[in-house]
Amino acid sequence: MFSITVIAVGKLKEKFYLEAIAEYRKRLSGYCQLELLELPEQRLPENPSASQIEAALAKEAEAVRKAIPKHSLLCVLTPEGKQLSSEALAVQMGQWKLQRPGAAFVLGSSFGMDPSLKAQADFMLSMSKMTFPHHLARVMLLEQLYRAENIQSGGKYHK
């Protein structure tokens, strides 16, 4: 069974997001082995300098690298990534399943993601040109992963 690891920088606290994540975790359990990892966001002052942000992102990237399962395809979510339709994501995931035993999807912190992590990625994915809260993006990613799996299996969820 394909393994999907979602690595998110930042703690999720809101009950409604937690409930949505629990629902998609349950739905995905029939399609893949899902692991959700939350890594701590580096603390920064209220108005951090560019160098402080850069240092924080580098530390977060180091923690992310340690959490990526060996032999997994690395997909980072970033605004400059490729935008895919749900059907195209399903096709892409089908191709990944032929290449690797699993995929790791990384969501950066509220300040973004270290450029070195983006450079290391096998694939950069963008949800939209719009900006979303990182917590909502986590739910959206899980929904799209579920939708892609359902499309691949010929299910009726995708209309």
- Per-residue pLDDT reduced to its tens digit, 106-115: 999 989 999 9
Q: Indicate the range of 12-16, 20-24, 60-64, 129-133 predicted with least confidence.
A: 129-133
Looking at residue 74, what is its pLDDT?
A: 98
Residue 49 has pLDDT above 90, yes or no: yes
For each of the domains in the chain, give its residue range(s) and CATH number, in order of start: 3-152 (3.40.1280.10)
Question: Which is nearest to 83 in space by CA: 8, 140, 33?
Answer: 140
Going by pLDDT thresholds of 50, 70 and 90, the confidence category of residue 158 is: confident
Cβ density class 52-74: b for 16+ within 10 Å, e for less? ebeebbeebbeebeeebbeebbb
